[in-house]
A and B are shown apart, each in its own frame.
Chain A
C-alpha cells in the first residue's frame, strides 16, 4: 500500500520533466524571391501584436537574398526581459539606427539598423509615431501628461539621435497620431480618440525652431495619417466616427496651411511613391456590422483618382483586413499586409508593377508598419 502512495507523490516529479526551459522565440527564414543586389538591402516589417500579449515582433525582408526572416529581434537580443514589447506601433531607420515605437511598453527601442542589436531606449509613455529631421527624431504621444485629469492633450517629443535623450517637448492636440515635416514645420494629425464623439478635427502645426504649436488646421474628425507629396501638399486621412461619418481623405496645401481638396472617398492608409499614392480603405460601420474594403490609386500631381488598380489578379479577395502598405522605391513592387482577424499571424503580400502577386509570406500578429534599409544606410 505504502508503495502506491509513494508513486502518487512521485508522479508530480515525473510531470516536472515536462516543463522546458523557456527559449527565445526562434527566427524562421523563408525564401520568397530571387536575390537582388540593388541599392536596397531590405525592408523591416513591424508586427503590432495584441495589447497585453507582449507580442510585438520584428521581421526583415532581405531583398538581397530574397529571404524573409521572421522574429529577428529575440535572436539578436535574447537577454532583453520580455523582448521587443507590447504593441509595436511605428518604426523608422535613421543614421544607422532603427527606431521602434512600442506603444504599451512606453518606449522607443533603438537598435543597430543592420544587426538589430539593442543600443538603448527612450522612455515615452503611450508613444505612437516617429519621424526624423536634421539629427532629431520626433515622436507623438497620446498624452503629454499621464494621470492628470485636466490634461487631455497629447505631445510631440524631440529626441537627439546622437545621445538618445529627450531634448524638447511640445503639447499638441488630443491623441496625436502620424507626423509629417514640411518647410521646417511638423504637422501632427490629432485624433481625439479618447473622447468620442468629441473628436479632434485638426492638424497641429509646430514650428521646429521655437518648438511651439503655431496653429491648428481644421480638417475633419478623428485624423490619423499625414504624409507629404513632392509638391508641398499633405495627404491626411480622417477615420470618421464608425457610425454616420465615413472615413475620408483630404489634401492640405502647406503654402496656405488650408484644406485644398476633400476627396470624399474612404482611405485608411496609403503610401506615396513619386506621383502615385497607393491607397486602401477598411470602413467599418456599426450600423451595418460590416467592413467595406476598397483599394485605389491617386495621381498626386493632378490630385485625381487614377482609374487603375495595383492588385489586378484577384488576390485582394483573399485579404481580409489590409493593415499596412509600402512601395519598393526601386522596383515599384507594392507590399500589403493582411491582419486577418487580428488574433492570428498575418500575411505579407508582394505585388509586381503589373498588379500580380509575386509572393506571400507569414508574418507576426497584426503586421502593419514598414521601413526600408539601404545598403549605404542613408535615408
Chain B
C-alpha cells in the first residue's frame, strides 16, 4: 500500500491507521492507483468507533442515482429533505439532528455555507464522485483538520482518482445520460499522467432538464397536473492535480466552477400550482492540501481553500419600487488548516489541529443595499487536541475542540464573540480473539452556530440567537465475516442504538406578517433510535454474484420543551420507521439491480394533528440493467433505469409532489 493514499482518499486513511502503518512505504503514484483496500471488504466499518456507511465504486454505480442526494437515501438514519425533481433542493438530515448539523467535505475540505448552513446535495453529480461516506460524530481518524471534529455528523465526498492502464499516460471517459424530465446530461472526465509521481484531471459536465413531470393529488378532490418551473441548466468544470514526492509528501490542488440557472418550484396549493421564481448560482472554489511525514512518528497536513459563491434570486410575484424582487448574495470563504499527528509509541498518538476560517456575506436587493442589511463577517478559530490509544483489542479516541467565533457587522447588533469547548470520546472494542465482532460507542458534544440568515437576514434574523447544542451518545456492535468456497462469501452487520439531545433548537416561525419569518431558540428535543445496516455477498450457481443490502432505522424524535405547545409530540418530518433494500445480481457482462426505499408516516408540524398534519408513508421501487462490453477497443457501458416503478404519488415535503415512474438511460465509453 502506498502512503499517498492518506491524502488522496480520506476514507482510505482509516484503513491505513488501522493497518500497521509502519509497513507502508513511499511508492510511486502509479502504484498508488492500483491500490485497493486489501483487507476484508467491510474492515473500516467493522472496526470504526463511530458508525460509518460507505457507497463507492461498483456499489455506487449499482444504485439508480444521478446525484449524491439520490445516493444518501440508502444510508440508515438518514432523511433526505427532497423538494422534488431534478432541480429541487435536496439536503441531508442525519439522526434527526437537522440539516445544519451535517458537514459536507469535498475531497477532505469542508464545502460549507455560512449563509444558510445547508448544502444542496443535488448540486453534486455522481459523475466525478468515487465514494460517499457518512460518519456519525466524526471521521474515525484523529489526524484531520479541526473542522472535521466540528459537527454532529460528516458526509465525505471523494472525487474519482484516475486509473491509468498499463503504460498509458492518458485515460478518459465520456458519458451521456438522458431520460425523463427532458434530461440531457453529457460529461467528460480525462486524466494525464505527470511524470511517474503525479497526474492532472479535468472533469466537466452539462446538465439540462425541463423538470416537468406528471403528478396527481387526492388531497380533497382528485386531480392530475404537470409539475412546472423545475427546469435546470447547469455546467460544472473541475480541474485537479496531485503530485507525490519521493519522500512520501503529497501535494494536491483542485479548482471547481459550477453554474446553474433553475426554476424554483413552489408548494402546490389550492388554485396555485405554479411558480415563476428563479435562482442562479455560481460556486467557485480553489483548494489545496499538502501532506508529509518527515519521520515515522510525525505527520503533517495543511489544507487551504478560497471559495466565492454567488446566488441571485428572482421573485416576479413581488414588485418593489425598484422592479421585480431580485436578491443577490455573494458569500466568500477563506480557510486555512494545519494538523499534526505525533506517534509517541506504536499504541499512542496525538493530534493537534488548528483551523482558521473567515466567512463574509454581501447582498443587494434590486442592485441597492437591502434595508437594514448588515454585511456580516465571521472569523472562526478552531483548535482540536486529540489522542488515540490503540491496543490489541481496543481503539480509544478522545478529543477536545475549542471554537472561538467573532461576528462583526457594519451596523446594528452582531452576535459578537463566543468561545466554546466541546469534547468527544470514541471507542471500539474487540471482545474476543476472533475479530468478527466489535463493540463500539461514542459520546460527543457539539453545536452549530446560527447561520448568517438566522442572525442577520432583514426581517428574519435574530442576532440574539444562541448556538444550537447537541449531545450524542451511541452504542453499537458490528459483525463482519468472510467465507471462501461458499454461497455466502461476505456478511456485514452493524447495529447501533443512539440517543441525541438538542438544546436551544433554532426554530423558524413566521412573524407578524407571513412574509416575515423570525428565528427563535426554543425547543428541547430528545431523539432515540436504532440503526441497522446489513449487507452480504453471495456466489450463486451459474457464476451469478449477488449482493444484498438492507438498512432499517427506528427512531423517536420527541419535543421535550418544558412549557412548550407540543411537549411529548414527535418533531416534524421524523418517521418512526424508514429503511432501504438493495439487491444486485451480476452475471458476465450484465448487472441487474433492484432497490427499494421506505419512509414511514410522519407529521409536517410540531403538532401531531391527525389528517391535517399527517403525511403518508412512501416507498419506491427502482430497477436497472447494466451491460458492459467492448466495442472496437472501446469499453462501453449501457444502463437503463426505471425509477418508482409502481408510479407511486408521494411527497417528501408537504405540497412538493415527487415524480412518478421515470426512466433514465446512461451510455459511457472510455476515450
Binding site for B on A (CB under 8 A): 1, 5, 8-9, 11-12, 15-16, 18-26, 48, 50-55, 57, 71, 74, 77-87, 102-107, 121, 123, 126, 143, 145-152, 174, 193-198, 239, 242-243, 268, 282, 284, 286-287, 289, 340-345, 364-366
A194 in complex: contacting residue of B267, B318, B413, B621, CB < 8 Å: B318
A8 touches B581 (CB 8 A): yes
Interface assignment of B271: CB less than 8 Å from any CB of chain A: yes
B220 touches A197 (CB 8 A): no
A53 touches B617 (CB 8 A): no
B616 touches A19 (CB 8 A): yes
Q: With contacts A8-B583, A22-B616, A289-B464 known, is A83 near B219, CB below 8 A? A: yes
Interface string of B519-537 (1 = CB under 8 A from A): 0101000000000000000
A sample of 14 cross-chain residue pairs with beta-carbon separation below 8 angstroms, ordered by A number, consists of: A24-B220, A26-B611, A48-B514, A51-B510, A85-B270, A85-B271, A85-B272, A102-B270, A103-B514, A146-B316, A152-B320, A286-B459, A341-B522, A344-B565
B233 to chain A, nearest CB (A): 22
B487 touches A1 (CB 8 A): yes
Q: With contacts A12-B619, A51-B510, A82-B269 known, is A148 near B319, CB below 8 A? A: yes
B320 touches A194 (CB 8 A): yes
Q: With contacts A22-B616, A24-B220, A74-B220 known, is A83 near B270, CB below 8 A? A: yes
B266 touches A342 (CB 8 A): no
Complex formed: what's the CA distance from A146 to B324 in Å?
9
B interface secondary structure, majority? loop
A71 touches B607 (CB 8 A): no
Cβ contacts under 8 Å, A344 to chain B: 565-566, 605-607
B511 touches A149 (CB 8 A): no
Cβ contacts under 8 Å, B344 to chain A: none
B328 to chain A, nearest CB (A): 16
B519 to chain A, nearest CB (A): 9
Interface assignment of B19: CB less than 8 Å from any CB of chain A: no
Binding site for A on B (CB under 8 A): 217-223, 266-272, 276, 316-325, 371-372, 412-413, 458-459, 461-464, 487, 507, 509-515, 518, 520, 522, 548, 550, 565-566, 581, 583, 594, 596, 598, 600-601, 604-607, 609, 611-612, 616-619, 621, 654-655
Complex formed: what's the CA distance from A146 to B319 in Å?
7
* A/B pair count, beta carbons within 8 Å: 193
Q: With contacts A22-B219, A86-B272 known, is A150 near B323, CB below 8 A? A: yes
A20 to chain B, nearest CB (A): 7
B605 touches A343 (CB 8 A): yes
Complex formed: what's the CA distance from A302 to B250 in Å?
84
Give 9 nearest A-B pairs by CB, closest first.
A85-B270, A86-B269, A149-B323, A52-B267, A82-B270, A289-B464, A79-B221, A54-B269, A105-B271
For the complex with contacts A19-B618, A198-B321, 19 further pairs of A-B residues with Cβ separation under 8 Å are A1-B487, A11-B581, A12-B621, A22-B218, A52-B655, A53-B604, A84-B270, A106-B271, A106-B272, A152-B320, A194-B325, A196-B458, A284-B518, A287-B412, A342-B509, A342-B511, A343-B605, A344-B566, A344-B607
Cβ contacts under 8 Å, B518 to chain A: 284
A79 touches B605 (CB 8 A): no
Quick one: closest B residue to A196, CB to CB? B371
B655 touches A53 (CB 8 A): yes
Q: With contacts A151-B319, A344-B565 known, is A286 near B269, CB below 8 A? A: no
Cβ contacts under 8 Å, A143 to chain B: 317-319
B612 in complex: contacting residue of A9, A25, A243, CB < 8 Å: A25
Complex formed: what's the CA distance from A78 to B612 in Å?
14
B612 touches A193 (CB 8 A): no
B619 touches A79 (CB 8 A): no
Quick one: closest A residue to B594, CB to CB? A9
A126 touches B218 (CB 8 A): no
A248 to chain B, nearest CB (A): 15
A50 to chain B, nearest CB (A): 6
B271 touches A107 (CB 8 A): yes
B220 touches A80 (CB 8 A): yes
Quick one: closest B residue to A12, CB to CB? B596
